[in-house]
Structure 1
Amino acid sequence: MATTKSAKEVREEREKMLVLKHKYDNRITITKYGKECLDAGDYATALQRFTEYMDIMAEVKHVKDFYSLKTGHFDSKSDITEMLMMSHVFFEMARIYDAVPKFQEDSRRCLEQFVAFSANQPYQVVNSELIRKHLKKSVFKNPDAFRDAYQQIYVQSKKCYVVTFCYGHEHPVTNEFREFKDWLLNYKTGQELVRLYYGHSSTAVTRWEKSPAMHLVARLFIRPALVLFSKTILRLILTK
């Protein structure tokens, strides 16, 4: 039998919701202040503000902590800006933790969240460039962890833009090219090729989808070329 809440419980619940709403409404200001502190070199305060923001999001989504936040907790269209901001905050937290050896595990967990909130998102290329530029500067105490995160963004991504445009997400040819991408990521040159591919193809395919002419070109020319490649060179590579 359902129990009726007392007036006190209802009042406390209402007050708790109002407090959470106030914190949520101020989350952008909190994050902005964290970024200002980070730019000023006040890393301790920056981390406090970033953590405060993440704790608010965890409370709003009813999960135990911000490491439990998943992209599935958000709407892929209406929440895309929030997800982008979260991915960048996770990255900055990972950077701050990375500077202190005893916090390497925290850095790793934030990197995992950064990858989770980057792969398969419209801003995936932007985030991969963010981490690549920092790697180029050699600013990390544990660069291997950040390099692995950079690769994981592509490994976890299911998108092969051009192939998916031609064949869809689950076609055998699409799956073969995903395997090809994973193979490329084993090599430094391959990683650069994958980066360039994602950087250009994501923009191109967005335009192609609106063009009847490109759909015709894909059917007459690109699809046959992809099939030929998958049945010849690609097959030789994947069976080695």
Structure 2
Amino acid sequence: MAKKKDPKDASDRKREQVVELYRTRLAHLKRAQVFVKEDRMALAVDSYNKYLGILALYFDTTEDRLSPSLFDAEKDMTELLLISHAYWDLAKAYDRSPNLQRDCFRCLEQFMKFSIGFKYQHVNAQIIRKFNNKKQAHNLKAFEAAYHKIQISAKRCYVATMAFGFEDEKTETLRHFKLKIAKYNLGLDFIDFYYAHSPTLVNYLEVRPKQKFVFNTFIARPLLSTFIFFIRSHVHHTKTHS
């Protein structure tokens, strides 16, 4: 009498195969990056899709449902960055073909999803801004919207949040100010400068409570409060004379 196969054993073997495949994912990623440098985009797309497909298989999902929530934000930071860049290259590749616009938009969405809220958010914002400045995208408005969502619309205001708190009305006033100046090139330059340097300052102070207290009490809060007073005064003056 033939011995019945244990479903658990089959499941374990399948999982082992998936784990073994998972170990090969970075080889596909590196191959894709080489193909991008050589401008062999069809091969790059194929390799990137293999890389993302393996990740999806490992997490028992589909590629289009890959999400940062599947990863550990601290331990898997490098992987998260690599995934964001994979979607970025895919978005640019799909943008070249009129028949693949839906794929382009989907990959842009994934690029944003794997960018916003992470330490490398500013770096990714600069990547997309430099690309947009070249005016090479067929769907330029979509790429510009992605930049604004990553760099401009993101609610994190590092120094203001540290000084007043995330939901304080003063922090919200500075967010609105950021949206207004984002309409101008000088404003964008200021925002880029702010996001390039403020995270480093905040991270430095977060592990030094005494210096943080001094900075907030004698520098950040007084200066920002004065600045906010002038912003609100200007808005009030504009309303009363309109």
Deviates more, 1:179-188 or 1:157-166: 179-188
Partner of 1:182: 179
Aligned residue-pair number: 234
Q: Distance in 2 between matches of 1:112 and 1:189?
A: 27
For 1:60, the equivalent position in structure 2 comes to: 58
Question: What SS does the corresponding residue of 2:222 show, helix, strand or coil?
Answer: helix
Tell me the distance in 2 between the aligned counterparts of 1:232 and 1:38: 49
Secondary structure, counterpart of 1:7 in structure 2: coil
Q: For 2:215, which of 205, 214, 217 is the aligned residue?
A: 217
Q: 1:36 aligns with which of 25, 34, 37?
A: 34
Residue 167 of structure 1 and its aligned partner are, at CA, apart by 1.8
The gaps in structure 2 that reach 5 residues or longer are none
Matched, 1:153 2:176: no
Q: Whole-Å Cα distance in 2 between the matches of residues 188 and 142 of structure 1?
A: 21
Which runs of no fewer than 5 residues in structure 1 stay unpaired? Answer: 1-5
Stretch deviating more after TM superposition (220-229 or 24-33): 220-229
Q: Determine the structure 2 residue equivalent to 1:16.
A: 14
How far residue 47 of structure 1 moved from its aligned partner, in angstroms, is: 0.4
1:120–1:158 Cα contact (<8 Å) kept: no
Query: Which digits, 9 at most, give the CA deviation of each residue in 1:210-232, with x for residues without a partner?
Result: 44335303212320222233244
2:102 corresponds to 1:105: yes
CA–CA separation in structure 1 for the residues paired with 2:148 and 2:106: 16
Question: What CA distance in whole angstroms lies between the structure 1 residues aligned with 2:88 and 2:235?
Answer: 35
What is the identity percentage for the equivalent residue pairs of Structure 1 and Structure 2?
31
Q: Is the 8 A contact 2:32 2:45 kept in 1?
A: yes
Larger radius of gyration: 2
- RMSD over aligned CA atoms reads 2.2
CA contact (8 A) 2:152 2:179 kept: yes
Cα shift readout 1:23-56 (whole Å, capped 9, x = no counterpart): 1111111100111112122211110110111112
